[in-house]
Amino acid sequence: MNATSLPATADTRRDAADLRADRAFRWLVSAAGVLVLVSLISAALSMLWGGRQAFSRFGLEFFWRDAWNPVLQDFGALVPIYGTLVTALIAMVIAVPISFGIAMFLTEIAPKWLRTPVGAAIELLAGIPSIIYGMWGLFVLVPFLAEHVYPWVDDNLGGIPGIGAVFSGPPLGLGMGTAGLVLAIMVIPFISSVMREVFLTVPGQLKESAYALGSTKTEVVWDVVLPYTRSAVIGGIFLGLGRALGETMAVTFVLGNAHRLTVSLLEPGNSIAATIANEFAEADSPMYLSSLIALGFVLFMVTFVVLTIARLMLRQLKKREGN
């Protein structure tokens, strides 16, 4: 039987219409999917393009020059890059052990009735807009640290030979240390909720067998739960690190916005995100603007690498779950 012998009934006409609609829908959703892909690539390319003047003028030197002088049109990324890395590092040093403690509390220690409310409360911290952290940091935390904490730090730790320089300086309250602390508070909910979730994926039998052998809770978490979830835990930590590197508003409020290279945690500094947020509106020359966008490109690349590592590590556990 060939096609021409068939009369074009209403049914086949509907089939053809369905086919067309199906194809159009498929095309539509594929376009949306590809758009996601394209938007990431074009974000990177557009910033590379926007920063081309800075890159062509300063070359690779852009990354390690500490100059930042809009009047002389002389720009380098070293101070913001340094500030970004130092504040993120401080945040991680505080946030990782605390988050681990919270996750352990929520999965092994706390009584059942307490787990949901405490977990929800910690997650509330993640929902508060970062500008609120910034305001609280500037108006509440900064004066508190300047009055009660930093003078003590300067007096007691500033004199230690070698590392004293890190802890000495005028007690302004603003600075790298404060920014690191605020960042830590902001990333704790992210890291601890990832840790809690992956801890919950550990098979009950595994933990029970360890308990049956007489292990303490500490030993179960450290020797059974943590090895089982290691890659996902590292993924969660990198997720928090990515957040700390790119966080803008909170840091802008408490970092002090000073383009100076200093080892002291008590002195103001700058970060990539804070520099862009503070200075973008007043960038009056193409070279200034281009340098700021070039900074954005650097930030994007750094967070891209960190987030990629985070996702790859988090995926490890999912794969194992699938098997």
Partner 1 sequence: MSASLYRRRRAKNAIVQLLAVGAAVFGLFWLVWIMWTTLSKGIGAMNLALFTEMTPPPGAEGGGMLNAFFGSMIMSLLGIAIGAPVGVLAGTFLAEYSRNSWIGETVRFVNDILLSAPSIVLGLFVYTLVVAQMGHFSALAGAIALAFIVLPVVVRTTDEMLQLVPTQMREAALSLGVPQWKVIVQVLYRSSMPGIVTGILLALARISGETAPLLFTALNNQYWTTNVLSPMANVPVVIFQYAMSPYENWHSLAWAGAFVLTMFVLLVSLLARYIVLRNKIAHD
Cα torsion 8, 12, 14, 19: sign? negative
Q: Which is nearer to partner 1, 239 or 266 (CB)?
A: 239
**Residue among 165 and 309 whose Cβ is closer to partner 1:** 309
The verdict on 286 binding partner 1 (CB under 8 A) reads no
Label residue 175 left, alpha or beta by phi (over 0 means left) and psi (-120 to 50 means alpha): left
Q: Does 303 bind partner 1 (CB under 8 A)?
A: yes
Size of the site for partner 1 (CB under 8 A): 88
Our finding on whether 264 is near partner 1 (CB under 8 A) is: no
Residue type, 209: S
- Chain positions 239 to 258 lying near partner 1, rule: CB under 8 A, are 239, 242-243, 245-249, 252-253
Q: Does 129 bind partner 1 (CB under 8 A)?
A: yes
Using the contact rule CB under 8 A, the part of the chain among 18-26, 53-61, 148-156, 158-166 near partner 1 is 18-26
Looking at 12, 16, 26, 261, which residue binds partner 1 (CB under 8 A)?
26
User: How far apart are CB 146 and partner 1 at their closest, in Å?
Assistant: 16
Is position 106 an interface residue for partner 1 (rule: CB under 8 A)?
yes
How many of the other CB atoms lie within 10 Å of CB of 75?
22
User: What is the C-alpha end-to-end distance of the chain, expressed in Å?
Assistant: 49
Which is nearest to 217 in space by CA: 310, 95, 108?
A: 108
296 contributes a contact to partner 1 by CB under 8 A: yes
34 near partner 1, judged by CB under 8 A:
yes
Question: Nearer Cβ to partner 1, position 63 or 136?
Answer: 136
Instruction: Give alpha helix (H) positions in the chain.
Output: 10-50, 52-58, 78-104, 112-127, 130-136, 142-144, 150-157, 164-167, 176-200, 204-212, 217-220, 226-246, 249-254, 272-279, 286-322
Q: Return the residues of window 198-217 that contact partner 1 according to CB under 8 A.
A: 216-217
Structure tokens at 73: 């049109």
